[in-house]
Amino acid sequence: MKYALEVITREHCFSGFLRLVRYRLRHSLFAGGWGPIIERERIEYLNSAAAILYDATRDQIVMVEQFRIGALEHGRGAWTLEPVGGVLRAGEDASEVVRREAMEEAGCEVLDLEPIGTYHVSPGTSADRVRLFCGRVDAALAGGIHGLREEGEDTRVTVIDTEQAMKELYAGRINTSVAVIAIQWLVMNRARLQVKWNHWSDTEFLSIRGLESK
């Protein structure tokens, strides 16, 4: 198949905290040729970066609780438990954004940073993409209420054991896409990060966990 599209018009419908644009376009079909002209509204770029903060020594995750308008109808569920993160400003590097947001939202210095990946949040309606990382922190220093008042931020730090975080996925308090993706990645890379960030050898790691072969 030849992937092709033609944007015919762009109409700016609204500009506030978000920016909405209506597109008239057509695109190529899997069976060949062109499809009909369609109209679609899209929330324009609000690209962001986020990081799951992990203490590999204590095997704990640092997350923040904050109000989210998208979950307005869900009562207490409107206060979600998420990784730290923020919007990328023009010319900003994603890694610097998460380091800054870790300090602003959780009072944590990121000691090391590992990229997880980039994903579309909701490509059916939005151009938003998240650049996701895992950051090494000292969870013993995490806590309190943070956020920039002038930006309407009010974030409360929660330190949670990794095992408990895994239990909270889907059925519990951890139910946003950025949190689910980040914790699932952490589960798959947990042992490697504990070796890397604690400067243990594989043998030392197995011994500490009581998993050495007999």
Give residue 213's pLDDT: 41
Give CA–CA dist 111/99, Å, rounded. 9
Distance in Å from the first CA to the final CA of the chain: 56
In this predicted structure, what is the pLDDT of residue 75? 67
Prediction pTM value? 0.87
Which residue type, as a one-letter code, is found at position 163? E
Q: Quote the pLDDT of residue 214.
A: 41
What was the pLDDT predicted at 173?
Answer: 85
Domain residue spans in the chain?
A: 5-43, 48-202
Q: Tell me what pLDDT residue 204 has.
A: 56
Strands 145-146 and 155-161 come out as antiparallel
- Annotated active-site residue 151? The verdict is yes
φ, ψ of residue 122 in degrees (nearest 5): -155, 80
- What letters, b where the CB count within 10 A reaches 16 and e where it falls short, cover 183-201? bebbeeebeebbbebeebe
Catalytic residue selected from 41, 96, 109, 151: 151
We find that the CATH architecture of domain 48-202 is Alpha-Beta Complex (3.90)
The phi, psi pair for 94, rounded to 5°, reads: -60, -40
DSSP letter assigned to residue 46: -
| pLDDT tens-place values along the chain, 214 residues long | 789 999 999 999 999 988 999 999 999 999 999 999 999 999 997 789 999 999 999 999 999 999 888 888 876 678 899 999 999 988 889 999 999 999 999 999 999 999 999 999 999 999 899 999 999 999 999 989 987 777 777 889 999 999 999 999 877 789 899 999 999 999 999 999 999 999 755 555 555 555 544 4
Identity of the residue numbered 199: H
